[in-house]
Amino acid sequence: MIAGLGNPGVEYTETRHNIGFKVLDAFAKASNLVFEHKRYADMVECKIKGRIYVLIKPITYMNLSGKAVKYWLKEANVPIENLMIISDDLALPFGTIRIKANGSAGGHNGLSHISEILETENYSRLRFGIGNSFSKGKQIDYVLGNWDTEEKKFLEQRIEKVIQAIKNFGTIGIERTMNHSNEKFDLVKELEKQKTENISNKENE
């Protein structure tokens, strides 16, 4: 089961905090899947290489994500070792992907509630870096703010990396997925690289 965290409502769709929803929406679109409105979550199932994936987007709002996760683990009969949570992370640079088999919530309210409700921190999680380019006292505005222009240039390709990690989690397991998919991302360096490539392409025209 893959739970992408976020908040329901169009006003949250393009916010950094909703990366979990955005990833699963991209996964569903690429696989021609349509989410159904169910109890506590929008849900869809699919099969990849003989493995059944249950994708959920909790509609309980971020701070009560554990309610949906616990319900669907039981409803879909999924053992906790087959659960992966996708969330945003302020402590990681934009686009960085960090997968762990367990760990603390790191101040993330969604993960905190999931750990509280499941009474354990022993579940896999994929953290997507959103950076921390905000001034003191502006954390909430930043997290609930929309992606900026420079981030949008690379968001789609970073999401594709996450989707591959999700597929790997179900087919090759958490340890190998961590080895394959954990990677840093340097937005400044990538922007400079893109700029250089554009200049080179113009010179070759």
b/e sequence 98-123, b meaning 16+ C-beta within 10 Å: bbeeeeebeebbbbbbbbebbeebeb
Q: Which residue has the tokens 């965290």?
A: 5
* Sign of the C-alpha dihedral computed for residues 116, 122, 126 and 132 taken in this order: positive
Q: Which residue has the tokens 């554009």?
A: 198
- Cα→Cα distances 170→30, 53, 126, Å: 17, 7, 13
* Given 17, 37, 113, 180, the catalytic residue: 17
Cα distance between residue 5 and residue 9, in whole Å:
13
Annotated catalytic, 17?
yes
Contacts of 116 (CB under 8 A, 6+ apart): 66
Q: Which two tokens stand for residue 61?
A: 């709002």
Active site positions, annotated: 17
